Amino acid sequence: MRTIKFRGKRVDNGEWVYGNLIKMDSEGSQSFIFPFYEHASSRPCGQIIALNSIAIIPETIGQFTGLVDKNGVEIYEGDVMHWDSYWGWYVGYENGAFRRIPLDEIQRINWEHYTLQQEGLETWEVIGNVHERSEV
């Protein structure tokens, strides 16, 4: 079964929070994450218990891809990936799939639109995200 979860930066202190996403309006200007209860595996039928909602910055919302990098780090939308001494890619959602997308707009003109599953992630590494890298 695929794990569906999101992350976003808190409005109050800028820290990342992970859990279920709730958007209170169609524009997403009021977005909240309900963190997962840490001991969900001990609940009957694997229930996940939502605690207090946390307001998040809508622009920082990213969905978990269901994949991990070569170090076992979970990959989310917006993550910047390093491959073969080049970090010019970020994870985005395009045409119904999670893909690596060039950070440089010029490179996007002729780049091949492979999904993350086609990339062979055993050599890729998450090195940051587009919300925290000054070079991006």
Question: pLDDT for 8-53, tens place per residue?
Answer: 999 999 999 999 998 877 665 788 898 875 544 555 554 544 457 8
**Residue 99 φ/ψ, nearest 5 degrees:** -135, 160
User: Which amino acid does the sequence have at 4?
Assistant: I
What domains lie within the chain, and their CATH numbers?
A: 6-60 (no CATH), 63-129 (2.30.30.290)
Residues 6+ apart with CB under 8 A from 99: 91, 92, 93, 113, 114, 115, 116
Q: Are 69 and 83 in contact (CB under 8 A)?
A: no
Q: Are 98 and 131 in contact (CB under 8 A)?
A: no
- Distance CA(26)–CA(24), nearest Å, equals 7
Please give the pLDDT value at position 117: 78
Q: Are 61 and 51 in contact (CB under 8 A)?
A: no
Say yes or no to pLDDT of 98 above 60. Answer: yes
